[in-house]
A = this chain, B = another copy of it.
Amino acid sequence: MDAQHEVEQVAGRARVAARALALATRARKDAALHAMAEQLLEREAEVLAANTEDVARAEAAATDPGIVDRLRLTGERLAGIAQGLREVAGLADPVGEVVRGSTLANGLELRQVRVPFGVVGMIYEARPNVTADAAGICLKSGNAALLRGSSSARSSNAAIVEVLREAIASTGLPADAVQLVPGETHDSVKALMRARGHVDVLIPRGGAGLIRSVVEESTVPVIETGVGNCHVYVDRAADLGKALAVVLNAKTHRTSVCNAAESLLVHAEVAEQFVPRVVAALQEAGVLVHGDATFAAHDGVVPATEEDHATEYLALEISAAVVPDLDAALEHVRRYSSGHSDAILTEDQGAARRFVAEVDSAAVLVNASTRFTDGGEFGFGAEIGISTQKLHARGPMGLPEMTSTKYVVIGDGHTR
């Protein structure tokens, strides 16, 4: 059986499950989520044993220790995953929400109502926790999940999905609400990207290469997530104390995430005061600064290349430049930003207003760290990813972003 046929068969089962999920009450979906959490904890030994296989395989292949760590599950991490599922159960059900409604002049009653997408495909890398997180968010939003994790996590993903499916079935909802996409090779990823009509939406989560290939090859509609070349611009009217704290936080609080800062811009009027302080603080925190001439005058700062300004380091590195004015800062951001999160530090209302209006990114922050662009921080409770595209959803995607809408029109024999 070829990969395309195989994926379409799995998607067909997902479609049947999706019909039941779309009609399931919140109470029923929440019961399934709690069962999923319980079963994961009860069958911890089984899941961890499967994970040990993945970790052993990765270590034998001399995989980077950072990646092995992301792959590894522990009792504590599993408890965190279960807790995440319970939290999703606690969130409002997006399905059925009336987005807008009115009675038209002719008496027709019009409502726009949230409905599930149907079948959601996820293509993601290493972390096995995404398997359970995505399954939970899809189920709560009434969508059937087709999960294609990385082959390095295959044993963990298989064990987790088996547990989740049995938990879901035990509450009367269809087990096929959550399925792994079969196949280890790239063929199955390709087949998923070509399953237009069978899969309603595809969400890639992972590195820039993965996301680019899905966006370019998929005929299934894609929601692009997560590449973040985020900027912090320190304006001439910045409170330099706040600025220093925000730059450090945005760069060093957690380096491997898409909302970490990768580029620092400083207004020329405050450069003399601020550059030495920020370089010293960054270096003390272990950050390698790739700077322009002003920055590179400091010991340990290496000259920034054109490429540095465009780089998402995801590491203790940052590019840095002095700009003559706000216009130049806006121009720099326009040129290099990936449109994820960009921040200005300023006490000047006019500068803040211009930055907010002119920076075309999913999140624009004033006097706040880029690290705040996050579904949890925004109060969404759960997040399937951070969209960096403009269609459908932009920024952190919570449960409402995992739905479509439908118009319901009620008449009494109305004709035109």
Which residues of chain B come closer than 8 Å to A22, judged between CB atoms?
A: 357, 360
With beta carbons under 8 angstroms apart, the residue of B241, B365, B379, B407 that contacts A411 is: B365
| A159 interfacial by beta-carbon distance below 8 Å | no
Chain A residues within 8 Å of chain B by Cβ, number? 72
Which residues of chain B come closer than 8 Å to A215, judged between CB atoms?
A: 196, 219
Q: A372-B414, A415-B246 are in contact. Are A221 and B407 (CB under 8 A)?
A: no
Please state if A362 and B407 are interface contacts (CB–CB under 8 Å).
Answer: yes
Please state if B364 and A415 are interface contacts (CB–CB under 8 Å).
Answer: no
Contact with B along A367-380 (1 / 0, CB 8 A): 11101110001110
Chain B residue nearest to A395 in the complex (CB)? B407
With beta carbons under 8 angstroms apart, the residue of B201, B367, B371, B373 that contacts A412 is: B367
With beta carbons under 8 angstroms apart, the residue of B102, B221, B371 that contacts A391 is: B221
Q: A245-B415, A391-B223, A415-B253 are in contact. Are A364 and B407 (CB under 8 A)?
A: yes
Question: In whole angstroms, what is the CA distance A410 to B363 when docked?
Answer: 11
Which residues of chain B come closer than 8 Å to A201, judged between CB atoms?
A: 390-391
| A92 interfacial by beta-carbon distance below 8 Å | no
Chain B residue nearest to A96 in the complex (CB)? B357
Contact with B along A395-409 (1 / 0, CB 8 A): 110000000111111
| A66 interfacial by beta-carbon distance below 8 Å | no
Question: In whole angstroms, what is the CA distance A173 to B122 when docked?
Answer: 43
With beta carbons under 8 angstroms apart, the residue of B104, B357, B361, B368 that contacts A379 is: B104
Please state if A200 and B390 are interface contacts (CB–CB under 8 Å).
Answer: yes
Question: In whole angstroms, what is the CA distance A391 to B407 when docked?
Answer: 14
| A394 interfacial by beta-carbon distance below 8 Å | yes
Please state if A364 and B416 are interface contacts (CB–CB under 8 Å).
Answer: no
Chain B residue nearest to A400 in the complex (CB)? B100
| A115 interfacial by beta-carbon distance below 8 Å | yes
Which residues of chain B come closer than 8 Å to A19, judged between CB atoms?
A: 358
Chain B residue nearest to A244 in the complex (CB)? B413
Distance from A328 Cβ to chain B, minimum over Cβ atoms (Å): 16
Which residues of chain B come closer than 8 Å to A371, judged between CB atoms?
A: 415-416
Name the interface residues of A252-283: CB closer than 8 Å to any CB of B: 253
Chain B residue nearest to A379 in the complex (CB)? B104
Which residues of chain B come closer than 8 Å to A369, judged between CB atoms?
A: 414-416
Which residues of chain B come closer than 8 Å to A216, judged between CB atoms?
A: 196, 219
Please state if A358 and B23 are interface contacts (CB–CB under 8 Å).
Answer: yes
Chain B residue nearest to A250 in the complex (CB)? B415
| A356 interfacial by beta-carbon distance below 8 Å | yes
| A118 interfacial by beta-carbon distance below 8 Å | yes
Contact with B along A204-216 (1 / 0, CB 8 A): 0000000000011
Please state if A372 and B406 are interface contacts (CB–CB under 8 Å).
Answer: no
Please state if B394 and A392 are interface contacts (CB–CB under 8 Å).
Answer: no
Please state if B404 and A364 are interface contacts (CB–CB under 8 Å).
Answer: no
Instruction: List the interface of chain A (C-beta within 8 A of B).
Output: 19, 22-23, 102, 104-105, 108, 110, 112, 115, 117-118, 196, 200-201, 215-216, 219, 221-223, 239, 241-243, 245-246, 248-250, 253, 345, 352, 356-358, 360-369, 371-373, 377-379, 389-392, 394-396, 404-416
For this complex, 7 residue pairs linking A to B, each with C-beta atoms less than 8 Å apart, are: A104-B378, A115-B360, A249-B416, A363-B408, A364-B407, A368-B415, A396-B407
**With A242-B412, A365-B409 already in contact, 20 other A-B pairs whose C-beta atoms are closer than 8 Å:** A19-B358, A22-B357, A102-B379, A110-B379, A216-B219, A241-B413, A249-B415, A250-B415, A365-B408, A366-B410, A367-B411, A367-B412, A368-B410, A368-B415, A369-B414, A372-B411, A377-B416, A392-B392, A394-B405, A395-B406
Instruction: Name the 5 nearest CB pairs between A and B, nearest first.
Output: A242-B413, A368-B411, A249-B415, A390-B404, A392-B392
